[in-house]
Amino acid sequence: MLCNSGNVHVDGSNNFVSVFSKRGQKGVNQDCCIVWEEFGCQEDMIFCGVFDGHGPWGHFVAKRVRESMPPSLLCNWQETLAQTSLDDQGIDVEEEKRHQYRFNIWKHSYLKTCAAIDQELEQYRKIDSFYSGTTALSIVRQGELIVIANVGDSRAVLATTLDDGSLVPVQLTVDFKPNLPQEAERIIQCQGRVFCLEDEPGVHRVWLPDEESPGLAMSRAFGDHCIKGYGLISVPEVTQRNISSRDQFVVLATDGVWDVISNKEAVEIVSSTADKAKAAKRLVECAVHAWKRKRRGIAVDDISAICLFFHSSISSQQVQLATLK
């Protein structure tokens, strides 16, 4: 298991993961990551997640969710699997339906896990999550199935190959911003407000009905219980994709990357990095440079990325840990 910047390669597995996180200019790094190889003691499973905290206790909330999510998800997955096993029921189904069945189990497990984590956070006295919270983007790879669960505005982008050999990005998640029609509708129905500050045109935030707070720039998050009754939710969007030989890698990154780097640019940066062990670090460093160029005068955000390569030929001897900056 990796809870830091670095790389993971499992002998006998095609998975190779590059991870890097860099503190911005706003204080403590409120981003954190996790990679859990052989998830649930299954050789064909791996769990990856990025968490972006915000608020005074944001870094504690992010780490708490990082610690809680994988074991809770695994427990719920195992329980659901035991209760609804195809083998136990003697059901003979087509491969496509079997894939859908597997996904449904993961989706149910994720929904149950996220609800429990947010409830536990509210009751956890060692961390004040009333005005602090975190986003959470994670994926589970089980064989050729990847399940993506997103709470917040981090993003997952897949790199896949076209017939002509070119590599193109496929965005796998939605950036849950308050101005998305379905998100804004829910918030307004719950008496919350969505608007931009005069000095931040284009940056929509969520506000309490009668207070100029908390001003969240995302519509889904763990914690932030001050506004949970006004449209902010911690329900994940859970989706799936069956990996083909054309799919090369997936990038999970916090909004510090996507605020200044396009999906296409991210795929180009990662694919052009000769040493895949340094792919995440190079992407993060490119984002830092882009921040300084495109957003002069604005403090650089914390920036974190995970690059999961599907068809790695890198040997374990080639893996070198990157240094956390």
Where do the domains of the chain lie?
Answer: 6-173+245-314
Q: What does the pLDDT read at residue 311? A: 83
Q: What CA–CA distance (Å, rounded) separates 49 from 44?
A: 17
- Give the tens place of pLDDT for each residue, 207-236: 999 999 999 999 999 999 999 999 999 999
The pTM of this model reads 0.91
pLDDT at 12 over 70: no
pLDDT digit string, tens, across residues 30-80: 999 999 999 998 888 999 999 999 999 999 999 999 999 999 999 999 999
Tens of pLDDT, residues 107-162: 999 999 999 999 999 999 999 999 999 999 999 999 999 999 999 999 999 999 99
Helix 263-271 to helix 279-294 angle (10° resolution) is: 140
The confidence score (pLDDT) of residue 230 equals: 98
Q: Which CATH superfamily is domain 6-173+245-314 in?
A: PPM-type phosphatase domain (3.60.40.10)
Instruction: Please give the Cα distance from 115 to 293 (Å, whole number).
Output: 40
Mean pLDDT computed over 293-307? 93
Can you state the angle between helices 95-123 and 58-83, rounded to 10 degrees?
A: 140
CA dihedral 290, 174, 171, 15 (to 10 degrees): 90
Asked if pLDDT for residue 305 goes beyond 50, the answer is: yes
Nearest to 130 by CA among 119, 122, 140: 122
Percentage of the chain surpassing pLDDT 70?
A: 89
- Assess whether pLDDT exceeds 80 at residue 319: no
What is the reported pLDDT for 318? 35
